[in-house]
């Protein structure tokens, strides 16, 4: 079942990408007590993700925070080392990278996707959501191959 507005974020272990290496974090704890703008990409260093999705959130970070967002986070089915390298390569220091290396978070949300035809294995769909104290208040899932409703601009309109 796909997560919906009003649902609670499932509790799984993610890896927060840091300069010191991966830091284990429970999703329940990460989203507790604050408003988080979360977006997900099928993969770090992939074309749309690197050219449009991540840069949009980097560019709009101050505007999102001015509308009450406490933290902006990105997740992908990549390991924490790749996520950290992608953050560094894109000067995305204001974005928290949450590695979902085994795709457990994507599966728990019902937003996993099969990219084996592209040689990428199991990944997550492209989406964004606003999570307030662990509860999803907005969720935006892209149709395959599209990039619109998961953008920072779209999210700004929801805040």
Residue with structure tokens 């560019």? 59
Distance CA 17, CA 9 (A): 20
- Give me the residues paired with residue 75 across strands: 40, 98
Q: Which residues contact 82 (CB under 8 A, 6 or more apart)?
A: 44, 45, 99
CA-nearest of 136, 142, 148, 137 to 123 is 142
Query: Three-class SS of residue 75?
Result: strand
Query: Which uninterrupted H or E stretch holds 86?
Result: helix 80-89
Out of 49, 61, 69, 152, the active site residue is 49
Active site residue 74: no
The residues that are catalytic are 49
């Amino acid at each position: 079942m796909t997560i919906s507005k009003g649902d609670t974020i499932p509790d799984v272990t993610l890896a927060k990408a840091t300069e010191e290496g991966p830091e284990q974090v429970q999703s329940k704890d990460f989203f507790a007590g604050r408003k988080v703008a979360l977006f997900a990409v099928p993969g770090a260093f992939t074309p749309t993700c690197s050219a449009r999705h991540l840069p949009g959130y980097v560019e709009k970070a101050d505007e999102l925070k001015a509308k009450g967002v406490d933290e902006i986070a990105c997740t992908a089915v990549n390991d924490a080392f790749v996520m950290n390298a992608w953050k560094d390569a894109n000067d995305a220091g204001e974005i928290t990278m949450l590695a979902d290396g085994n795709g457990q978070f994507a599966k728990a949300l019902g937003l996993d996707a099969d990219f084996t035809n592209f040689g990428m294995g199991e990944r997550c769909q492209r989406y964004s959501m606003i999570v307030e104290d662990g509860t999803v208040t907005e969720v935006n899932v892209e149709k395959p191959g599209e990039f619109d409703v998961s953008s920072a601009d779209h999210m700004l309109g929801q805040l």
